Structure 1
């Protein structure tokens, strides 16, 4: 080991010691890398746990079988795939440079990654549209948005995500066996054509970002106008009481929508800006790795924003953790406050 390796605490080995065609392995052994490994592993576990709670809650309790919750369920399934498959593989790659899952795994992993990330974004868009209709056209919401239509929309969304992921990898020649691990065993390289980096930027960031920003801007403005209208009506009967209620409602709406938009932009903007200057996803740049994980962490934040702040999620979690979910007729438990 030379002086440079000692400074970076890197031990050079081989991915498959008994194979002559094995790639060299770089294992990060410094205390900082071990700490980050533990932190990222905890993030993966928390992502799986939180999204499983959402999935079990909405699937089990009949009171939660609503169009909006079906969209949250779709989001949780996509984020569960990220926490269950995408994050652990990236955690392993963070410490160990080798690919241990074979050529087929090298083909399937990017496919699963693209589908899960795209489905998560698609679900966020559907939720924004759902909230837009609920706030801006509440009288027709129940007739326009039904469980059946929402289910069909979710199936369509996942199908389009599968089609997009397949096209992306196909046109980047990733499905060709001759392009996988051509140099040595233990390597998985996904080279992106710059034209498809731009296409992905448009379809995976600019378009979803624009739709979400526009929808939530309209929702906030409409909610603020409704709050003013309520304030004006209530003021007629009781000025002091009316101002207090309206201001509280307005503040809560602003905080909730502001959090949704801020977290989404904070998680996705850095990664896509960086992707414009990177042609291969095998880059080991610390900045690239950090922004890539920031994008993945969005799957951890989604259940926090769309479920944990709701009273029904806290109630369902209590039933699940205490084991009451196994009681007879537990699917019909009441999850909402009496004054809901």
Structure 2
């Protein structure tokens, strides 16, 4: 049997056999794809589990109700959305070309994906601002930055991010299911005009990253000068030195979280400018999107390395001791440790 006869005998599979407008079905059944499916699924599960630990820790223990930890909570929520919704959908599309979740999900999932990314970068900007105030004015930090003020900032920030990407997807005719342009039934393709890609690159990457880099340059410059000034004072400066050292260490730890995120975000953001449109059908994007998404798994691991409170809270959560009475008032770490 020659190749022509062989092709004629192949049964063409469709996503929805009962629908005449159905897309053709392409399933990746190679062992390499199966192995990749297992690995990425494990990453997705770990991302959800680890970020739930962060969210539970900060939400449950009253000692952790600080302005800085509220920003970490915001970052963990964004990472949870990635692990809970975005990663599973990308894994599904990697193995099966068909879209089984319907038009509404095809509209919502990109919104969740973009929202989680821009909410993350917004949280990182707030971390930089928070640390800048803490290092530059450590004695007045607790009066200038409060839990209430930070809660308002985070709420307004998430709402602004939601409105921002709703506008982008609406003007690209993607938000409303009736506006989706698909060639067949069982397809979900996101197309974004190149002009919007450039605008989004500037607003959601260039400007926030510039703010972060400038603030952290100022933070370490101020910290260096303060260290020199404090070392020249022999008496009466122990409380200043203690406060400044604590905030400088906190800035260094959170700075690591920020720069790891930027390292994961840069390949995706830079590559977006080289395409005339963003499309989920492209084979280029999965590599860069997964580099970005895996950062959502890395953040909780960084917290476990840097923060005593996270390791202590995880022990209480895993052993179910958080269900004990008054467990929310437990002291997880000593002040300025």
Q: TM-score range by the shorter chain?
A: 0.7 to 0.9
RMSD over equivalenced CA pairs, Å: 2.7
**Which aligned pairs between 1:240-279 and structure 2 lie closer than 5 A?**
256=253, 259-278=256-275, 279=277
Matched residue SS, 2:27:
strand
Shift of the 329–261 alpha-carbon distance from structure 1 to 2, 3 Å rule, reads closer
**Which aligned pairs between 1:42-121 and structure 2 lie closer than 5 A?**
42-121=42-121
Matched residue SS, 2:266:
helix
Length-normalised TM-score, structure 2: 0.87
Q: Gapped runs of 5+ residues in structure 1?
A: 4-10, 235-244
User: Relative to structure 2, which stretch is displaced further, 111-120 or 250-259?
Assistant: 250-259
| Paired position in structure 2 for 1:330 | 327
Matched residue SS, 1:13:
coil
**Which aligned pairs between 1:200-211 and structure 2 lie closer than 5 A?**
200-211=200-211
Encode CA deviations 1:129-182: one digit per residue, 9 max, x unaligned: 111111111122111111111111011001101110111101111134443253
* Cα separation, 2, equivalents of 1:45 and 1:224: 42
Q: Is the 8 A contact 1:87 1:296 kept in 2?
A: yes
| Paired position in structure 1 for 2:282 | 284
Q: Is the 8 A contact 2:71 2:123 kept in 1?
A: yes
| Runs of 4+ residues deviating >4 angstroms | 230-234, 248-255
Encode CA deviations 1:77-99: one digit per residue, 9 max, x unaligned: 11111110011111111111111
Length-normalised TM-score, structure 1: 0.86
The offset of 1:21, in angstroms, is 1.5
Alignment partner of 1:126 is 2:126: yes
Shift of the 215–306 alpha-carbon distance from structure 1 to 2, 3 Å rule, reads farther
The offset of 1:224, in angstroms, is 2.5
* Cα separation, 1, equivalents of 2:314 and 2:330: 12
Q: Gapped runs of 5+ residues in structure 2?
A: 4-10, 235-241
Encode CA deviations 1:183-226: one digit per residue, 9 max, x unaligned: 21110111111110001100111011111111112222222333
Alignment partner of 1:303 is 2:323: no
Shift of the 325–250 alpha-carbon distance from structure 1 to 2, 3 Å rule, reads closer
User: Relative to structure 2, which stretch is displaced further, 113-122 or 327-336?
Assistant: 113-122
Shift of the 178–331 alpha-carbon distance from structure 1 to 2, 3 Å rule, reads closer
* Cα separation, 1, equivalents of 2:313 and 2:258: 27
